[in-house]
Structure 1
Amino acid sequence: TAPAASANAMVGLTPPASALAAADAPAPIGGCRNDGYTEMSRFWELEAGTDCGTFSFRGYRPLSVSFAVGDKVNRQPSSLNPVNSATTETDYQKQEMRIQLSVRTKLAQNLLTDPNGKLRDSLWIGYTGLSYWQVFNSDLSRPFRTTDHQPEIFYVYPTTAQLPFGWRWRYSGIGLEHQSNGQSDPLSRSWNRTYLMTGFELDNRLQLQAKIWHRINESAEDDNNPNIQNYIGRSELKLGWNVNQRNWMGVTARGSLNGHGKGSGRVEWMHTLGDGWMGGKSNLRLHAQVFHGYGDSLIDYNYKRTVFSLGFSLLDF
């Protein structure tokens, strides 16, 4: 009977056992979910094997809900523009909820790269909303203390340059963003900036990303937050470390290149919770972070404070 079974398999009547086993096995996750590529390549869809197509929603910055407590809270926001300085205090509490929503979609790809090649460039639009909610402040009817809106458009170009000590230069990009809090005077805050960014990685363990920006000037009477770049800074450097399969740590520093800026620092830790679909890595994280400096929110652009937050974040989806 063995020769007959073999003959049947050859003419397609009875599939061989290996084919049946392959058919029962789960299909590998591809595109921007393909674990065969590094996190940086999958996040920016830098290679053909990480492409998830255009006009599909993906996560951008973490989607977070966390409890936050500061060493102090800005009860009377001020600005160098007198029109944008509050005249009375509001009895905000130091304890509040921090909520961040962030999404993006790819508009186009292969604008400058070869469609048949290995690498992919891409054009994206994104939106990030950050709110501080006085949910524990029943005396004020639990208001949102501030909500920042940050739409942007950016272009990413892939690179493959090998650097010393095993590092690789993975991408460069350029972008334009607007940030505002949607308030009326005296609490209105807004600015526009262009930026350049780049990223490097060491295997799938370390990531180094840098960004430098330039504020688009406004007239003095329209400027809600003069010299904001001296407080928030003109550049950002972020180092991420995949400690192991479950834990990630990151350090972000912002500063001014002319030596006159105030800047800030942020230290983060994320721990993976549960398992993802089809045995992959879950995108849900226990997320703890400490921020110190200026500009944790736009209303606090010139207000220095330290904030600790602990909650849950959903990464790229």
Structure 2
Amino acid sequence: MTFKTSSLNSLPLLAGLLAGGLTQAQTAPAVAPPASRPSSLGWQACQAIKGNDAGQLACYQQWAQSQLPANTPPASITTAPADPATGQPETPILLLPALNTDAPDGKPIGCRNTQYSELSRFWELQRGTDCDTFSIRGYRPISLALALTNGSNTPQVDEAVRNAGFKPQTLKNAETKIQLSVRTKVAKGLLKSGDADESDQDSLWFGYTQQSYWQLFTPGESRPFRTTDHEPEVIYIYPHQVALPGGWQYRLSGLGLVHQSNGQSNLLSRSWNRVYLMGALEKTLGPESSLRVQGRVWDRLRESSGNDDNPGIENFIGRAELNATWQINKANTLGVTLRHSLHSQARGSTRIDWLMAPAASPTYTGLRYHVQLFSGYGDSLLDYNRRRNVLSLGLSLVDW
């Protein structure tokens, strides 16, 4: 018969037995554990040993060791000092190893392990930050916000529709902005891997972002979604650990392929494809504070003039992007994103983000108050050639 149980549920019992029987175990003669292996029979086999405290203790020790993950440091013994006020003598205490787990089955917490840097956890750059493939993770913030703008492009209609009595929509400058963004790692260790937790590990990701502007405050127009942009992408991440001056570290290089479209046809259609190169570096400022800088440069994949829904879009949205993020502490993050057309007629955009955790839960959830200020071109595909200023106030979920 085989007995199975959760290793973590048994650790409190093990700690109590070891603390209580440690002194006796130091003086009693060593007794071999039962012939049956406790690692296969479970702790019940040790519990069945009666009248032999030292043998039972040895059995528990052998079983506990078999349950620990690989490379777990051994338990250690310390002594609690005597307390003359209460007459409490010195007491031996067993210090069990700290298991970095988020589940009772003892699996490593990987991408949530705070002993690694922000970038390492976000892109799972090292073996110790691995959360395995095909698990859903956050990408860009998942947001619901009130957006106040200085105007937007009005959807165009052809002459036949206008002659049929179509009236242009009456749009408001106050909209609701909704963003969904997720990703999953589809492969790992393709070109770079190792056995140690600190070993670098490359990876291949698929991400999807959807952003909508909803005319919630126009009941007379049936509250339409003014525009929705879809952005699937494939990203390859190659990790580095290159020390740079000033305490900075170059952490990753990347290659991406992205399609962006508003899912419309004819005059309303907006879409383009691009390939990009990226790189990122970071600097640790303290246990809960860091700086991160990420750059991307891209090239549009050419289309024939007859299929180009938005000619010259790269001259408006830009050809390069630089993002700098200051993790002030666990509760506050400040970010600045700059885009530039790299053209004689300089265009692009500036975006500033401030994310603040609720005071009641700054650490244990991904919920953030989110304030965003955008100025420039490309806040949405429909408005790619119109300069807009947008102030967004709302809530976001960051990577969970």
TM-score in terms of structure 1 length: 0.89
Q: Does 1:133 align with 2:214?
A: yes
Q: Give the match for residue 12 of structure 1.
A: 59
Q: Does 1:232 align with 2:279?
A: no
Please state whether the residue corresponding to 1:220 is helix, strand or coil: coil
1:96 to 168, 175, 189: 175
Please state whether the residue corresponding to 1:245 is helix, strand or coil: coil
Change (3 A) 1:126 1:286: same
What residue ranges of structure 1 are gaps of 5+ in the alignment? Answer: none
In 2, are the aligned partners of 1:77 and 1:300 still within 8 Å (CA)?
A: no
In 1, are the aligned partners of 2:155 and 2:268 still within 8 Å (CA)?
A: no
Change (3 A) 1:57 1:90: same
Change (3 A) 1:267 1:216: same
In 2, are the aligned partners of 1:229 and 1:261 still within 8 Å (CA)?
A: no
User: 1:30 offset after TM fit, Å?
Assistant: 2.0
1:289-304 mapped onto 2 (5 Å cutoff): 289-304=372-387
Change (3 A) 1:174 1:88: farther
1:210-225 mapped onto 2 (5 Å cutoff): 210-225=295-310
Distance 2:296 2:117 in 1: 21
Q: In structure 2, give the amino acid aligned to 1:287.
A: H
Give the % identical residues: 47
Cα deviations across residues 173-213 of structure 1 (Å, max 9, x unaligned)? 00101000011221110000000011010115110000000
Q: Give the match for residue 315 of structure 1.
A: 398
Change (3 A) 1:143 1:116: same
Q: State the structure with bigger RCO (CA 8 A, min sep 6), 1 or 2.
A: 1
User: 1:309 offset after TM fit, Å?
Assistant: 0.4
Cα deviations across residues 100-134 of structure 1 (Å, max 9, x unaligned)? 00111111111110342500100001100000001
Q: Give the match for residue 152 of structure 2.
A: 73
Change (3 A) 1:2 1:192: closer
In 2, are the aligned partners of 1:232 and 1:261 still within 8 Å (CA)?
A: no
User: 1:2 offset after TM fit, Å?
Assistant: 7.2
Larger Rg: 2
In 1, are the aligned partners of 2:313 and 2:384 still within 8 Å (CA)?
A: yes
Distance 2:364 2:242 in 1: 28
Q: Give the match for residue 244 of structure 2.
A: 163
Distance 1:226 1:91 in 2: 27
Distance 1:115 1:61 in 2: 29
In 2, are the aligned partners of 1:123 and 1:155 still within 8 Å (CA)?
A: yes
Q: In structure 2, give the amino acid aligned to 1:307.
A: V
Q: In structure 1, give the amino acid aligned to 2:149.
A: G
Q: In structure 2, give the amino acid aligned to 1:275.
A: S
1:247-286 mapped onto 2 (5 Å cutoff): 247-273=332-358, 274-275=360-361, 280-286=363-369
Please state whether the residue corresponding to 1:222 is helix, strand or coil: coil
Aligned length: 308
Change (3 A) 1:190 1:2: closer
Q: Does 1:200 align with 2:286?
A: no
What residue ranges of structure 2 are gaps of 5+ in the alignment? Answer: 1-20, 29-52, 65-76, 78-91, 103-107
2:327 to 242, 246, 250: 242
Q: In structure 1, give the amino acid aligned to 2:123.
A: W
Is 40-49 or 200-209 further displaced after alignment?
200-209
Q: In structure 1, give the amino acid aligned to 2:145.
A: S
Q: In structure 1, give the amino acid aligned to 2:304.
A: S
Q: Does 1:183 align with 2:270?
A: no
In 2, are the aligned partners of 1:233 and 1:255 still within 8 Å (CA)?
A: yes
Q: In structure 2, give the amino acid aligned to 1:254.
A: R
Please state whether the residue corresponding to 2:267 is helix, strand or coil: coil
Distance 2:113 2:308 in 1: 45
In 1, are the aligned partners of 2:149 and 2:388 still within 8 Å (CA)?
A: yes
User: 1:3 offset after TM fit, Å?
Assistant: 4.5
Cα deviations across residues 6-55 of structure 1 (Å, max 9, x unaligned)? 54355236999855x74999846620011111111100000111000011
Distance 1:194 1:25 in 2: 41
Cα deviations across residues 212-243 of structure 1 (Å, max 9, x unaligned)? 00000001011000000000000000010012
Q: Give the match for residue 106 of structure 1.
A: 185
